[in-house]
């Protein structure tokens, strides 16, 4: 074990874990469709090595795809028959894409129930996708966390994650498709940055759920987490390494024990938590979190003002990451904006037990604006 930890330390760069160049010899057990593919697209911001797992949930298609984007392992969860928007494959090309940018940890499995509710509520007319943060998903056996990439940057840091999303859009989403972006927590900050850096994106609406877009380190939760993430996160690496050897059933039991205080935990969230038993996934999430504490400072009023009619902000009434004070200040700064305060007691991590409820609200907001 000491030798393995030594190798992990040697491969650590800038606080984020980097795996070696990807290689494999066979597909993992359980891949039902698609198969394996690898290739390099010269000059592209994405380097692909793709695995498709296709499943049926209540008789509609769901695709779970692993790719390399900006050199980092990325999971893309897709509801609907459209596996590739750049190609028709017999399906009529949709005019609208609903894309979810997650919080931290950026594991798309947390949003499965939320996505399913959105997709069904929209009568399965539009694709609903979610993209993980680079390095937060646990890639299938034989696929490493990183791949050699000509323009490799700190893809696991906050700025790298923003560029990672823009890179995905450029490579996988047609330029003429209209977008509804849904951000959660730090995903809202990422969406604002995307709208600022890529003004040509055809965004019809951005929905900001429990938005951490300012003064994260000064929030009640930030005051607790800043020293843990910025100075003490390395203390957690040894326990995480040891926990990674537990059998899957024990990991699941441990997750259920930690979440025992939540009355009706979403089973999809329990499964998603298992990603965090992989040391490099958890380390990448903590590394990104440490940068959030340092870099998410003042609210970007200029970007908000330019896009105010396209933005809906939904704050939690008991949210220690973005307290009511932030909501009140936002409301005062933008009195004409759609800035809402939760009256239902929904927690910041709504995906744990309130996915359907938040999806219902989201659909109502979109329908009121005749966007779906």
Domain boundaries, the chain: 34-368
pTM: 0.85
Per-residue pLDDT at 153: 74
Show the DSSP H helices in the chain as ranges.
2-10, 112-121, 158-172, 186-197, 220-230, 237-243, 248-258, 267-273, 279-295, 301-306, 324-333, 355-368
Q: What is the pLDDT of residue 127?
A: 96
CB 326 within 8 A of CB 185: no
The CATH classification of domain 34-368, taken from the options 3.30.565.10, 3.40.50.1820, 3.30.390.10, 3.30.360.30:
3.40.50.1820
Question: Which spans in 180-219 are helix H?
Answer: 186-197
pLDDT attached to residue 87: 80
Is 215 within 8 Å of 326 (Cβ atoms)? yes
Nearest CA to 252 out of 260, 242, 241 is that of 260
> What is the model's pLDDT at position 43?
34
The residue annotated as part of the active site, out of 117, 138, 185, 355, is: 185
Measured distance CA(200)–CA(166) in Å, rounded: 11
Query: Pick the catalytic residue: 348, 353, 354, 355?
Result: 348
Q: Is 20 within 8 Å of 11 (Cβ atoms)? A: yes
Nearest C-alpha neighbor of 337 from the set 299, 372, 363: 299
- Our answer to whether residue 348 is catalytic in this structure is yes
Q: What 3-state class would DSSP assign to 102?
A: coil
SS (H, E, C) 313-343: EEECCCCCCCCHHHHHHHHHHCCCCEEEECC
Contacts of 145 (CB under 8 A, 6+ apart): 17, 18, 19, 72, 73, 135, 139, 280, 284
Q: Give, for all 372 residues of the chain, the pLDDT tens digit.
A: 444 444 344 333 333 333 322 322 223 333 333 333 333 333 334 445 555 555 555 578 999 999 999 999 999 999 999 999 988 665 688 999 999 999 999 999 999 999 999 999 999 999 999 999 999 999 998 899 998 766 657 999 999 999 999 999 999 999 999 999 999 999 999 999 999 999 999 999 999 999 999 999 999 999 999 999 999 999 999 999 999 999 999 999 999 999 999 989 999 999 999 999 999 999 999 999 999 999 999 999 999 999 999 999 999 999 999 999 999 999 999 999 999 999 999 999 999 999 999 999 999 999 999 887
Instruction: Tell me the HSE value of 25 on the side-chain side, using a 13 A CA sphere.
Output: 0
For strands 16-17 and 203-209, give the pairing.
unpaired
105: preceding bond cis by omega (within 30 degrees): yes
Measured in degrees and rounded to the nearest 5, phi and psi for residue 242 equal -70, -40
pLDDT recorded at residue 2: 42
Contacts of 108 (CB under 8 A, 6+ apart): 75, 76, 77, 100, 102, 130, 131, 132, 137, 272
Question: Which tokens in the block code for residue 106?
Answer: 């950026």
Q: What is the structure's pLDDT at 59?
A: 76
Three-class DSSP labels, 31-46:
CCCCEEEEECCCCCCC
Is 185 catalytic? The answer is yes
Interstrand relation of 72-79 and 128-131 (parallel, antiparallel or unpaired): antiparallel
The DSSP output letter for 369 is T
The yes-or-no answer on residue 266 being catalytic is no
Q: Given this model, what pLDDT does residue 372 score?
A: 75
């Amino acid at each position: 074990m000491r030798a393995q930890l030594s190798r992990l330390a040697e491969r650590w760069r800038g606080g984020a874990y980097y795996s070696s160049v990807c290689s494999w010899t066979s597909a993992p057990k359980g891949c039902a469709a698609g198969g394996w593919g690898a290739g390099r697209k010269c000059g592209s911001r994405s380097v692909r090595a793709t695995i498709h797992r296709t499943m049926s949930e209540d008789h509609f298609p769901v695709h779970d795809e692993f790719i390399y984007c900006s050199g980092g392992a990325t999971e893309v969860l897709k509801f609907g028959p459209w596996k590739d928007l750049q190609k028709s494959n017999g399906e009529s090309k949709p005019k609208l894409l609903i894309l979810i940018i997650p919080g931290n940890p950026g594991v798309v499995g947390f949003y499965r129930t939320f996505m399913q509710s959105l997709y069904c509520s929209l009568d399965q007319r539009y694709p609903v996708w979610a993209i993980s943060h680079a390095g937060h998903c646990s890639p299938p056996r034989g696929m490493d966390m990183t791949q050699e990439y000509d323009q490799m940057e700190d893809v696991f840091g906050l700025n790298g994650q923003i560029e990672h999303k823009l890179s995905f859009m450029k490579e996988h989403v047609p330029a003429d498709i209209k977008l509804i972006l849904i951000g959660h927590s730090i995903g809202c900050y990422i969406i604002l940055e995307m709208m600022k850096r890529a003004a040509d994106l055809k965004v019809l609406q951005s929905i900001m759920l429990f938005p951490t877009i300012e003064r994260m380190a000064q929030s009640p939760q930030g005051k607790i987490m800043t020293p843990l993430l910025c100075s003490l996160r390395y203390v957690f690496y040894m326990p995480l390494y040891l926990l990674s050897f537990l059998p899957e059933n024990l990991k699941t039991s441990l997750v259920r024990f930690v979440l025992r205080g939540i009355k009706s935990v979403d089973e999809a969230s329990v499964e998603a938590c298992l990603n965090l038993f992989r040391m490099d996934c958890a380390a990448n999430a903590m590394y990104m979190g440490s940068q959030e504490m340092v870099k998410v400072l003042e609210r970007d009023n200029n970007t908000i003002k330019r896009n105010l009619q396209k933005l809906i902000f939904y704050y939690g009434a008991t949210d220690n990451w973005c307290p009511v004070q932030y909501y009140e200040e936002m409301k005062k700064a933008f009195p004409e904006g759609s800035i809402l305060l939760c009256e239902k007691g929904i927690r910041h991590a709504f995906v744990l037990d309130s996915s359907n409820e938040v999806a219902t609200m989201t659909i109502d907001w979109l329908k009121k604006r005749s966007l779906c």
